[in-house]
Structure 1
Amino acid sequence: MERLAVSLPYHSATDRLVALWLAVLGFGPSVEILANYEKGEYLSMSGNMQVNQ
């Protein structure tokens, strides 16, 4: 299991550009790939998003 956080730019209700931080959790073979990335590197991913409040 590998965890990392990614920042997505979005416009807030006050129309300011802010960063939305998402926690990403990887399982299985993707863990070895994610472990090779370092802060500041570009990463493309796809999957489902689950919101817990």
Structure 2
Amino acid sequence: MTKTTSQPKHAIRSSDVARIQGAVAKPLGGQIPKGNYVGRLQRVVAGQTTPKKTK
């Protein structure tokens, strides 16, 4: 059995959230229910800062 880490390979991007939002909204007729996890994902992505590159 292999041990997995809980850390993702890369940070979630706004394009990832848009893809998830579309997948959630499609079967619901284009509507996202209030309080859905997609809104929380959007807040997390909006609050992320990109690390500064060092020389």
- TM-score for the superposition, normalised by structure 1: 0.20
User: Whose helix fraction is larger, Structure 1's or Structure 2's?
Assistant: 2
More strand by share: 1
Bigger-Rg structure (1/2): 2
- Of structures 1 and 2, the one scoring higher in RCO (CA 8 A, sep 6+) is 2
With the length of structure 2 as denominator, give the TM-score of the two structures.
Answer: 0.20
